[in-house]
Every structure is written in structure tokens, then in C-alpha cells.
Amino acid sequence: MSRGPRAAASIVPRTFSATPPAIPPPVARAGGPSETDHQLDRERSAEHLAVLQAACRTHRLPLTAQRLVIFETLAARADHPSADQIYELVRERLPSVSRATVYRVLDTLVRIGLAVKTCTPASSVRFDPRTQRHHHLVCVQCEQVMDIHVPTLDRLVLPQSEHPGFDIQDYSVHFRGRCAKCRGRRPNNPARTTRKPRRSKIRTK
């Protein structure tokens, strides 16, 4: 009896912000937005603006509408979107924005500590607005990336590097396996064709 692939874990070095911004998490809503939801959106937008303003001021960057919309779009996502996914969402608010602008702004957000890149095998680069140290579950089938909170993983001691001159700054653990949705799927078996047995022909003289 064959068994499916076992979940594997890998430690991925990554650099996190020393002073992570206080970005409110996205809120799941049932039904249409209420007046309370609109108020929360306004408060959340004000917090995003304050965080981005402070970061741009520190790094002497102009605060542009493109940077604000792209940052707000990323901060509202919890599924570690790719640059292309962010681009499609940003176009709904800024139809004239180019793909190159979105890529460039995302790289800027990483550089100033408002986002981090999450790299997984056989997958495009994902962006994460959570800059504090945390870890991920990665589905090897659908490439979904999910956060996992395990306090004991945050207390690992950084090892001494075997490569001279390499300075380990931080880490992120990726657990690889299959998500519940993919585990429930049946493998696509090739269609089997059944052939009818040939009947022997009896010839009569």
C-alpha cells in the first residue's frame, strides 16, 4: 500500500523588520458591509496612511497614490499574494497603473520594511505584509501558503554558519505538505477503455 508524500519542513532565511509596523489584520465579513464596516475601513485606511507616511519620511521617499493603494491592497491580504495578483487588484482602483509600477513599489515596500518576500519551491515570489517572524504551511500541490503560529519555533537558536563571512540574521520555517482541499481530491486517472471481445467468424463452404 503506497503512502502519500510526508510533510517536510525547511528553514528559510529571511530578513524581518526590526520595528514592524502595526498593520491591522484583514477582517472577514458576512453579507454586505454595514456602517460599522465602513467606519473600520476608514480607520484602517488612516492607519495604513500613517504607517506608510512614517516609512517614507524615514527613507526620504515621496508618498504617492500608487504606493498608498498598493500598500493598502497588500495589507488587506492574508494569503501571501504574488505581484501579479496585487496588480490585478490595484487596477480596480488605479486603471492606468502599469505592471512595472506595481513590481517596483512592492520591491520598495520590502526595502523599507513594510513587507517581506516569501519564496517557496516551484512557486512565484509571494509578498507578506506581516514583517514579524512567523512561519508557513506550503501546499506542494496547489502552492497555497498559510501562516502557522508555533511559539516554540520562534525560540530556535541561530546556528553558526559553515560558510565564512555569512551572517545569519533571521529565519522562517516552511512546512511542506498537502492542504485539506488537495487531500480530498481524487487523482485524475486516465480513462479506461474496455474493448469487447472479438467474435470468431465461422466460415461455411
CATH number of the domain encompassing residue 139: 1.10.10.10
- Is residue 188 included in any domain, yes or no? no
Whole-model pTM over 0.75: no
Paired strand residues for 139: 177
- Determine the Cα–Cα distance for residues 17 and 86; give it in Å rounded to an integer: 21
- Determine the Cα–Cα distance for residues 130 and 51; give it in Å rounded to an integer: 13
pLDDT band at 194 (very low <50, low <70, confident <90, very high): very low
The kind and range of the H/E element at 138 are strand 135-139
| Residue 4, pLDDT above cutoff 70 | no
* Residue 112, domain extent: 8-26+34-183
Q: Answer whether 103's CB lies under 8 Å from 85's CB.
A: no
- Determine the Cα–Cα distance for residues 43 and 166; give it in Å rounded to an integer: 42
Whose cell is 486517472? That residue is: 189
Mean of pLDDT values over 44-66? 91
Burial of 117 (0-12, 13-18, 19+ CB in 10 A): middle
- Is residue 189 included in any domain, yes or no? no
- Is residue 202 included in any domain, yes or no? no
- Is residue 160 included in any domain, yes or no? yes
Handedness of CA 178, 179, 183, 187 (dihedral sign): negative
Q: Answer whether 195's CB lies under 8 Å from 21's CB.
A: no
**What is the pLDDT, as a whole number, of residue 159?**
84
Domain count, the chain: 1
Q: Is 113 left (phi over 0), alpha (psi -120 to 50) or beta?
A: left
- Among 95-109, 112-126, 162-176, name the most confident range: 95-109
- Is residue 192 included in any domain, yes or no? no
- Is residue 78 included in any domain, yes or no? yes
3-state SS, residue 148: strand
**What is the pLDDT, as a whole number, of residue 170?**
85
Length of the chain: 205
**What is the pLDDT, as a whole number, of residue 25?**
47
| Residue 58, pLDDT above cutoff 50 | yes
| Residue 136, pLDDT above cutoff 80 | yes
Mean pLDDT of all residues in the chain? 78
Whose cell is 515596500? That residue is: 109
